[in-house]
Chain A
Amino acid sequence: MTLNDHPTFLRHKLSYTYKNCHWKTMLSYIRRFFKFIHWLYLQYLLNTALYMLEPWERLLFSTLLFAILSTALYSALVFLPHHVRSMIQFYS
């Protein structure tokens, strides 16, 4: 991987001349976006130490994490408005 292939979402933007075709720049932006997603996935694997594990272990842990997070999100979406309303009523 050369330096130019990395997503440059932080600093210098490459300047494209107006002569370049629009769909080519679109394609390069899409490629950069996919590279960014790949980089994010690599950070997830490295920080949770899943990088060292076998594929089925990764699947197991990711499924477990997804199940816990989705349950938490669902409960929040369903119950939070009612809780907040009753708290406001209690304190006013």
Chain B
Amino acid sequence: MSNYQTNKPGDDNNRTSDHRNREEFEETPTWAAVVTVLGYAILSALGWLRDFLRHIGLEEKRTAHDPNPKDFVPLYQSYECFYTRNLYTRIRDVFNQPIASVAGAKVHVMERVSDDYNWTFKFSGKKIPSINLGSYNYLGFAENQGPCSEQAIKSIETYAVTTCSTRHELGHQRYVKELESLMAEYLNVEDCIAFGMGFATNALNIPTLAGKGDLILSDKLNHVSLILGARLSGATIRTFNHNDMKDLEAHLRKAIISGQPRTCRPWKKILIIVEGVYSMEGSLCKLPEIIELKKKYKAYLYVDEAHSIGAIGSRGRGVVDYWKVDPNDIEIHMGTFTKSFGSAGGYIAGKKNIIDYIRVSSHSACYSSSMSAPIVQQIISALSIIMGRDGTNDGQKRIQQLACNVRYFRRQLVDMGFIVYGNNNSPVVPVMLFMPAKIAAVNREMLKRDCAVVTVGFPATLLTESRVRFCISAGHTKEMLDHALKAMDEVGHLVSLRYSKKNPHHRWVELDHADYDKEYTS
């Protein structure tokens, strides 16, 4: 029942099966899958009943309706609307919750009340101060005080807020040049180019790199921006199973042997697109094996390090640093500044000739606004702190704090008996819920205990695999993590989330805390 390739030691002699890099995707228990599907069946049946009542007029219609007469092609796709009306709206209060403070390690969530079962909301005026376990604030740079924000404010005085121009016209400013050279040094590559939006970096630059006559091999669980970019490029797209190297090799061999679909000509190039850390599963890509395959079959590699740059690796340089591979082996390094650097934007880095080509022919460089000064200054300050250029070792401390936090949090959750997906070192911690009602229950109960979490269901995940996703930050102290773990323990008992068959179930009071403290302070 599991779609994922579990890493077992002894699989191959490679370092990816080392016990420290273990990735666990425990299988869904059968009874949980059956109960989940039954739950969705009950919700669908009652949804049909409500739709029927709305149709005959016993209940008022509260969604937008199609103004066209019956013979016209329908304006809205029917299952998505059914899902939104009858399943999503019932628990809408746990999604898109407005906040009232900076989303650092702690956040103020605004409380909303609803009289008519989540069709309309009213603010009660109360702000709930809670521990923020949902922001991608891996190194804790999302703060409104401190050296980064002071320098960003000063940069507004020097450079003003925006250039009102694209990169090719008047947007090529001194601060962007500084950012690009600093980033290239950070990643140990030749050159780098920065863009204003992380999603657009993928979606608008993959068409520059690949086109008709090329083959793109992308992982099944890649992010929407990569899929969109691949589709826009016009190349042929084939997907391989998540982190499955045998499947990737089979696809490569088939592609090289058979060539393009109708003409059987050889492919102009083959581009493999993977992500560093997958944000819904918390798994890392197996970079050494992919590089070996790429060299054997002469393909190109594009690694999207949106969640892993700054957060993974002993010096925070991403998956390249974590697996200790040569950065020159990867053709395109891509990443975003939104997650670990507390800013906005994306970058692409690699050899100078590729980056020069992208500078000239990217849609983003020609048509979208250049990055504005305070945003770039925030990244430059964060980078200097991480690299140690500001004279303190604050950056290295943050990276180590994050690694400790992640190990501590994950180990306790696993020992309590929850099903936790992903690699032991990834700061994204998904805990499985499976049933739709638990999505709402866990979110509300955690908020009552002052923890703001993100719970996700269909369509961001598979239908039967809803989860609660914790994002650990270097800004979390041990007390905050303990509070969150205690809350999770209580909620896990209340909502019965302990599904694991491999690990025995424990309550928080039964765990030996001296053992964990040693691991935390090491």
A residues with a Cβ closer than 8 A to B are 1, 3, 6, 11, 39, 42-43, 45-54, 57, 60-61
Contacts and interface: CB of A to CB of B under 8 A. Distances in A.
A47 B46 CA distance: 15
B224 interface: no
Does more than half of chain A's interface fall in helix, strand or loop, or is it mixed?
helix
Contacts of A52: 43, 87, 90-91, 436-437, 440
Given A1-B490, A6-B490, A52-B91, A46 B508 contact: no
Given A47-B435, A61-B42, 8 more contacts: A6-B490, A11-B507, A46-B438, A49-B40, A51-B440, A51-B441, A52-B440, A57-B46
Interface in B37-87: 38-40, 42-43, 46, 87
Nearest to B442: A46
29 contacts: A1-B490, A1-B494, A3-B486, A3-B489, A3-B508, A6-B490, A6-B493, A6-B494, A11-B507, A39-B494, A42-B494, A46-B437, A46-B441, A48-B38, A48-B39, A49-B39, A49-B42, A49-B435, A49-B436, A50-B437, A52-B43, A52-B87, A52-B436, A52-B437, A52-B440, A53-B43, A54-B117, A61-B42, A61-B46
Interface residues of B, number: 28
B490 A3 contact: yes
Contacts of A6: 490, 493-494
Nearest to B445: A1
Nearest to B449: A1
B437 A45 contact: yes
The 6 closest A-B pairs by CB, nearest first: A49-B39, A51-B437, A52-B90, A49-B437, A46-B437, A49-B43
A46 B39 CA distance: 9
A61 B42 CA distance: 9
Contacts, number: 58
A50 B40 CA distance: 10
A49 B36 CA distance: 8
Contacts of A51: 437, 440-441
Nearest to B45: A61
From A39, A47, A54, residue with most partner B Cβ within 10 Å: A47
A91 to B, nearest CB: 34
A47 B39 contact: yes
B34 to A, nearest CB: 10
B142 to A, nearest CB: 31
A50 B39 CA distance: 8
B490 A46 contact: no
B389 to A, nearest CB: 47
Contacts of B510: 11
Contacts of B496: 43, 46
B224 to A, nearest CB: 27
B514 interface: no
B102 interface: no
B507 A48 contact: no
A62 to B, nearest CB: 11
Given A1-B490, A46-B438, A53 B90 contact: yes
| Most central of A1, A46, A47, A49 by chain B CB within 10 Å | A49
Nearest to A58: B46
B42 to A, nearest CB: 5
Contacts of B46: 53, 57, 60-61
Contacts of B325: none
A41 to B, nearest CB: 12
Contacts of B435: 46-47, 49
B35 interface: yes
A6 B491 CA distance: 11
Nearest to B117: A54
A54 B438 CA distance: 16
Contacts of A3: 486, 489-490, 508-509
Nearest to B87: A52
B400 to A, nearest CB: 32
Contacts of A11: 507, 510
A61 B47 CA distance: 13
